[in-house]
Structure formats: structure tokens, C-alpha cells
Amino acid sequence: MVGYSSIKEQVLYSTLVPSILAIKNHQSYNQAQKEFFLAQGFNKSPDVNLDEAAWFKRQAIKVIYNNPVYFLESATISLYTFFTHDGALNLLSQLKLDNGYLNYPHGLSFFKQSFHGLIISLADLAGSPLALVLLFRLFWILTAVCFMMSLVYQAVKKGFNIYSGFFLVLILYFALTTIANGLGVNARFRYPVNALILIFVIQGWQAWLNEYRSKKLSVLECS
């Protein structure tokens, strides 16, 4: 069993390191993880107990230290995923509404099909439950953009009040700690602060709207 105190070493070794190596070697995450474990003498993800935690941590830090650029790339992907991953596909899987559609090519390979095949695939997906994935993803991408705009506005124009400052600290804490999970980050890591992100966005836009109305009213009074 993995002790509570060794969870961080488990995550660093079994998740972050394979993520870095996957980016470095242009591999899938699963392939990089499998090859890394085999190279270390493990057939699967090892159980990190308290007695061995220090060794696993040293091995992970060594890889991170030797690959700073790929670590930063992994961290960037993790942060982007934290704010934009929708979790809709997992929901559809639990509801068993994704049957047959996961066999489509994923990522850029989806668009490398023949024109005829692409049209058929798009038509099928548009009428399938997986269309929700696109809608959810667009919603969270838009939310992430609004979050950044709200952050910049409140920092430059308005300043943070005690509430928005507290919300921001919590959001950034969860976002930054997910970096250790590398390419394994998904929507569930954001669940604890979903409401705070939306509130933070609303606060920023409400402050901007109030300022806009005040300026408009001042112009009308002057005229």
C-alpha cells in the first residue's frame, strides 16, 4: 500500500516523469510510462512506501533537473488542461453514451482523413452525444479566457479585494499543484474550485461593467 506521506513521490515518479519523457521523445504518455518503468526495473507502476520514498523522489528530481525545457512544456500543458478540460467525455462514458464514437481518430489525426471520411465523421459526431464534448470544451475555454481578462483587469485597474484575493489564491493553489500530475491532468482536478473560477470571472466583469457605466454617466452629465 502507498502511505499518505509517499503520495507526492508516487505522483512525481509515476506521472510527472513519464509526462516529461513523453514530450521529449514524442511518445504517447502510456508508452513513455511503460518504457520508463521497464528501464527502472518495474513491470508496472511501483508502490512507493515510506521507506523507499526518498529514492523515488531522487530519481524523479534527476529527470526533472536534466530536462527543464520539457518540464516547463509539461507544466504549461497541465495548466492549460486544468483551466480548459471539460470532463464531458468521462461523463458520457459513465452514462454509456460514448459507445462506438471513441473509435474515431483522435486529435489532429481526425483531420487527416480523406475529405469524404472527414465529412461523414463530422456528420456522425454532430448528431451524437459527443457533440456535448465540443460545447463543454468551448465553454471552459471561454471561461479560461474570461478568467485571465478578469485577473488582468482586477490587478491593473481595480485591485483585489479580500474576497477576490482569497479566491485567486485558492484557484492558483489548485492549478499549480496539478503540475505534478503532468499529462494526467483532467477536469476533476479543477472541480474543487469550479465555482470560485466562475465567481472570480463574474467579479471582474461586474467591476468592468460598473466602471463602464460610471464613465458613460459622467460623459452624459458633462454633455
- Tens of pLDDT, residues 107-131: 445 555 667 666 766 676 666 666 7
Contact (CB, 8 A) for 175 and 79: yes
Which of 66, 100, 116 is the last residue before a domain boundary? 66
- The gap between the terminal CA atoms of the chain, to the nearest Å, is 74
Which of 36, 66, 96 is the last residue before a domain boundary? 66
Q: Quote the pLDDT of residue 91.
A: 66
Task: Output the CA–CA distances (angstroms, integers) from residue 208 to 4, 146, 215, in the order listed.
Answer: 44, 12, 11
Which residue, 110, 112, 138, is CA-closest to 125? 110
Are 209 and 103 in a shared domain?
Answer: yes
Are 218 and 145 in a shared domain?
Answer: yes
**Which pLDDT tens digit goes with each residue over 188-219?**
888 889 999 998 888 888 888 887 787 777 76
Read off the pTM.
0.75
Instruction: Print the domain residue range for 2.
Output: 1-66
Are 58 and 27 in a shared domain?
Answer: yes
Are 84 and 135 in a shared domain?
Answer: yes
Are 102 and 172 in a shared domain?
Answer: yes
